[in-house]
Amino acid sequence: MRRRQALFYFPWLEFKRIALGVKHSAEVDITDNCNLKCRHCYHFFGRDEFSKKEESLEVWENRFRLLFESGVRFILLVGGEPALRIDVLMLAHRIFPFIFVITNGTKRIPSEFAHRLFVSIDGSREVNDHIRGKGVYDRVLKNYAGDDRVVINMVLAKENYTELEHVVRLSVDSGFTGVVCNIYTPRNDGYNPWDLGDGDRQAIIQELTRVKALYPRDLLVSETMIKWYSVADHRGHCYWGDEALHYGASFNPRRCFADNADCANCGCLAGAAQSPPMMIHQTRELRSILYEV
């Protein structure tokens, strides 16, 4: 579906959600496995080893068909590392009109998969590889340099937020579509390797504001989203948590990316970007984020 059509299609889906209760968006872990072990990863908290169990393509086809038949048209595929299941990605490609993938970028997703890829880079080579593992920065660039499906997805914390301008410059120089950011969000079950105080959040907000002024077209975080990020506590209402569907790799329903995401200390891009009233204030960023297929 072309980008312009999509901008009209979403209001229609949203109308159906409000009028008939048909949820149109879902987020799904398609694997619990990953080939990295990043310092800040919540996914493997409490586990010594990554899961080796994978579901068959047939199981995934049944799950995707169920979602499509229930009204889901936009699906965000995450993990673990979704590029470890190219077969499941290509299956989703045949079923859903809108797909976003969050990937660590170390395994190239084939060009036929013409959808938006959010590829994680958390700083310069030195800082990124300290967080994500030796050689990861160069592998990502080798796989994706010049690929306009890519939007860099950066997690901001006090350890790396001063790297934001470098990452936006890298996006421009590498031919990527731009950069989005999450502020590091802990879990509410005690997992918090990157403790973020109020002062840290404010420093991150100032840096986002500064870099947005320098690169308004490449940093795809709108002023409205920056305001959302400046408040940590979103326990009252969150469109992403309340109105989208969320599933772990066993297809277990959950509220957000992690079972225990701490809504009182949220910095999730999905929370900041998703609600329709917010979307009205960020059409420029949205146009860039939607991929032209």
Per CB under 6 A, does 41 bind ligand SF4?
Answer: yes
Nearest Cα neighbor of 35 from 52, 14, 55, 18 is 52
Q: Which is nearer to ligand SF4, 218 or 273 (CB)?
A: 273
Q: Which of residues 75, 261, 279, 289 is near ligand SF4 by CB under 6 A?
A: 261
- By CB under 6 A, residue 123 contacts ligand SF4: no
By beta-carbon distance, which residue lies closest to ligand SF4? 241
Site string for ligand SF4, 48-87 (x = CB under 6 A): -------------------------------xxx------
Structure tokens at 108: 């190239």
Q: Which residues contact 43 (CB under 8 A, 6 or more apart)?
A: 32, 34, 79, 80, 258
Query: Please, which of residues 201-240 interact with ligand SF4 by CB under 6 A?
Result: 234, 238, 240
Q: Does position 139 bind ligand SF4 by CB under 6 A?
A: no
To ligand SF4, the closest distance from the beta carbon of 150 in angstroms equals: 15
Interacting residue ranges for ligand SF4, rule: CB under 6 A? 34, 36-38, 41, 43, 79-81, 104, 185, 234, 238, 240-241, 255-256, 261, 263, 266, 268, 270-271
